[in-house]
Structure 1
Amino acid sequence: MKRLFFLFLLMPGILFAQKEEHYLAGAVPEVDGKVVFSKTIKAPSLSQEQLYEAMLSWAGDYYNGEKNRVVYQKPEEGAIACLGNEYIVFSSSALSLDRTTINYLMRIVCVDQRCDLEISGIRYEYNVSYQKQPEKYVAEEWITDKIALRNNKLLRVPGKFRKGTIDLIDKLFVDATNKINGLVSASASAAAPVTAAAVPAVTSQTAAVTPVVPVSPVVAATPLIAATTTAAAQAQPEVLPVQANVPAGYKAVAADKIPGNIIRMMQNDQMMITVSNGQETDFATLSSGGVGYAFSKPVAFCITESGKHIASLIESASSYTLSFYTEAYRDVLDKNKDNRSKDPDRIQNSGLTLITTSNGNKAFSEAWMIIECKKISLSQQNGTAGAPANGSKILLGEIQNVWIK
């Protein structure tokens, strides 16, 4: 009886320890130094087309907010990409609310009998009381084993980001699994209505529930390029063999060797987009975007404003450049954040030197890095009809060339 009594007293601690174990060493997977969560959902009875339609429906329902958006879909490849933007709430009361915004890229690829999901490019914006601007973090600098754990225990601040992120990833993977399980159940019922059994809903990744469709880890694809602390801390990018048509003063590098600190530069208004139609060229400073791999292609995405004069050029252009600058060009970057009217002398007055790439795109020689892109899609960020003229749009492009000084 005493043993049972002591076991009863210890039970809450045992359950808590089991729950905490879910967030400890190995809970945040890293691939080549990048945080990448991935999952394979097996569906032996379903075709690529069936899985694609199911996942597109799920993604359309979930990513339908002003900043949540399905940004890429290609039925013949079974490919879907979504930009996630939502809150992780740490604590909430009548007097206080502690939460962070999390942004990420969700990649879905469907083939016959299988669906692969991958989440990468995770970054946070955390509002704090002691400053006006939010603190910005990337997953690689904030929730990894090396940063968020000490003696296999969660540190207080990065630990809550780690737990909140893992819980969100669990929810997304479970929701997607239940969507496919429901389709499998419906298919089985149609084939054999007498013997078909109901598919149990998955309620938690850690719960002892065995779904009808087994779920197993997928070998992660190349993850979204993530930020590191400073430019100086970056490893020297791998330079490609000498190539023709490289702008003077630059060296060509592989897309997967783009320095990770450009994510931070994108957030700090150190990136410009330059677009030309042959007769007219315009440029603007952007403050949000990312780079990575989607469907075996290196891609870059950025947020543009429809109210800017450059918007019409972006609409009609098939390619463009993204260029990155040091703080020495802060005045030029700030001055061109809000170019809502046409100014034929703006390039000349900027003090920057316009150059032309071998593909006919424009950039500026003062940039320390230039990324040349082929446009894949341009979609309204809020996804509503009759959107206001100053609404934001998501520009997604395939990276064609990368040049670094």
Structure 2
Amino acid sequence: MEKIEPKDINENVIRLIGDEWMLVTAGDREKFNMMTASWGSMGFLWNKPVVMVFVRPQRYTFEFTEKRDTFTLSFFDERYRRALNVCGSVSGRDTDKVKESGLTPYFTEAGNPAFEEASLVLECRKLYADFLKEEAFTERKIADAQYGQKDFHKMYVAEIINAWVRK
């Protein structure tokens, strides 16, 4: 992997996140979990390159994102769609997702888990976190359609502190 500046990411992030998905991975060498995500954003806020990631509290990955200030986002090409489907359809509470997905974890210098097969890895540090609130939706149809059980995502705004691309 080659380290790059976040401003040098050349991908269309709408396609990257919405169509190709990503793995949100949090934890440490002893224990971590990853989940597939297709909601999020990437941009510039508070004079920093940032991502916005959304995690429901019932997801196993949630407890890992809550315990640490950092996490990674790993992006893959289409060859790894099956692995992403596994990571999005089974819980790490009950299944060894690394074994089932066939992905190969490695750890950044800061100790954050990422995956060797990724084409892009972002290491992120939380700056802001809060739950989405029903009363804050100006488009009620979204709240009704996405949160019928009132299980609102927690939004994390995180600075991209490191970025790597596959050469």
TM-score (norm 1): 0.36
* Gaps in structure 1 of 5+ consecutive residues: 1-249
Q: Offset at 1:309?
A: 0.9
Using the TM superposition, name which of 337-346 and 283-292 deviates more. 337-346
Tell which has more relative contact order, 1 or 2 (C-alpha 8 A, sep 6+). Answer: 2
Would you say 1:357 and 2:108 are equivalent positions? yes
Q: Offset at 1:269?
A: 4.6
Larger of the two Rg values belongs to structure:
1
Q: Offset at 1:341?
A: 5.3
* Corresponding pairs, count: 154
CA RMSD of aligned residues (A): 2.0
1:399 corresponding residue in structure 2? 160
Would you say 1:325 and 2:76 are equivalent positions? yes
- SS of structure 2 residue aligned to 1:310: helix
1:315 corresponding residue in structure 2? 66
Structure 2 Cα separation of the partners of residues 376 and 271 of structure 1: 20
Structure 1 Cα separation of the partners of residues 86 and 94 of structure 2: 13
Structure 2 Cα separation of the partners of residues 341 and 354 of structure 1: 15
Structure 1 Cα separation of the partners of residues 75 and 111 of structure 2: 19
Distance 1:271 1:354, change over 3 A: same
Q: Offset at 1:343?
A: 3.1
Among candidates 41, 49, 61, match of residue 298 of structure 1: 49
TM-score (norm 2): 0.83
Q: Offset at 1:389?
A: 7.5
Contact 1:308–1:338 (Cα < 8 Å) also in 2: no
Structure 2 Cα separation of the partners of residues 337 and 297 of structure 1: 29
Alignment map for 1:72-221 (pairs within 5 Å): none
Structure 1 Cα separation of the partners of residues 19 and 2 of structure 2: 25
Q: State the percentage of identical aligned residues.
A: 28
Structure 2 Cα separation of the partners of residues 277 and 355 of structure 1: 10
Among candidates 33, 46, 49, match of residue 282 of structure 1: 33
Q: Offset at 1:335?
A: 2.0
Distance 1:315 1:339, change over 3 A: farther
Q: Offset at 1:292?
A: 1.1
Structure 2 Cα separation of the partners of residues 338 and 344 of structure 1: 10
